[in-house]
Amino acid sequence: MAQYKFEGDFDSLNERQLEFVNKVVEEQNLGVKKVTFKAVGQAGDNFIGNVKRIIIEGETGSMKLIVKVAASNEMARYQTNTEILFRNEHVTYTELLPKLVQLQETAGVPEEDRLRYAKCYGSLTEAPNEIIILEDLTESDFTMLNKFESLSNECVKNILKGFAVFHSLAFVLKEQEPEKYDEIKEKLTDVWTISFSRPEMEMYSHMLESETVRILDDKHKHLVENKLSKAFKERVRLIENEDQRYTVIQQGDAWTNNIMFKLGKDSIQSVMIDYQFASNGNPMTDFLYMVFNCTDHETRSKHYLDWIDYYYSELEKSLSNFGLQASSIYPRDQMDADIKKHAKYMFHHSILFAHLLMRDSAEAGEVLEAMKNVNVEEAIESFKADNLQTATLGRIKTKIENVIASFELFELF
Side chain identity at residue 398, one-letter code: T
CA distance 90 to 120: 9
Q: What integer pLDDT is reported at residue 135 of this predicted model?
A: 97
- Cis previous bond, 199, omega within 30: no
Q: What integer pLDDT is reported at residue 66 of this predicted model?
A: 98
**What kind and span of H or E run contains 175?**
helix 153-176
> Alpha helices of 34-94 — where are they, by DSSP H?
74-80, 82-91
Sheet with 6-8, side-by-side order of all strands: 6-8, 32-39, 49-58, 62-70, 131-135, 120-124
Q: What integer pLDDT is reported at residue 90 of this predicted model?
A: 98
Contacts 24+ apart (CB under 8 A), 316-325: 317/164, 318/164, 318/165, 318/168, 318/169, 319/168, 319/171, 319/172, 321/104, 321/107, 321/108, 321/109, 322/103, 322/107, 322/172, 322/175, 322/176, 324/171, 324/172, 324/175
Q: What integer pLDDT is reported at residue 5 of this predicted model?
A: 83
Q: Which residue has the higher pLDDT, 41 or 375?
A: 41
Q: What is the pLDDT of residues 97-145, one digit of tens each?
A: 999 999 999 999 999 999 999 999 999 999 999 999 999 999 999 999 9
For residue 397, what pLDDT band results from cuts at 50, 70 and 90? very high
- Let me know: does 223 contact 413? Beta carbons within 8 Å: yes
- Let me know: does 213 contact 225? Beta carbons within 8 Å: yes
Q: What integer pLDDT is reported at residue 3 of this predicted model?
A: 59
**What kind and span of H or E run contains 397?**
helix 390-409
pLDDT of 28 > 90? The answer is yes
Instruction: Count other C-beta atoms under 10 Å from residue 149's C-beta.
Output: 11
Written in H, E and C, the secondary structure of 11-29 is: CCCCHHHHHHHHHHHHCCC
Q: What is the pLDDT of residues 159-193, one digit of tens each?
A: 999 999 999 999 999 999 999 999 999 999 999 88
* Interval 221-238 mean pLDDT: 85
CA distance 168 to 165: 5
pLDDT of 208 > 90? The answer is no
> Alpha helices of 177-247 — where are they, by DSSP H?
178-187, 191-196, 199-215, 218-221, 228-240
**Domain 85-117+145-409 belongs to what architecture?**
Alpha-Beta Complex (3.90)
**What kind and span of H or E run contains 174?**
helix 153-176
Number of continuous H segments (helices) and E segments (strands) in the chain = 17, 10
For residue 377, what pLDDT band results from cuts at 50, 70 and 90? low
Mean pLDDT across the chain: 91
Q: What integer pLDDT is reported at residue 311 of this predicted model?
A: 98
Q: What integer pLDDT is reported at residue 383 of this predicted model?
A: 67
**What kind and span of H or E run contains 53?**
strand 49-58
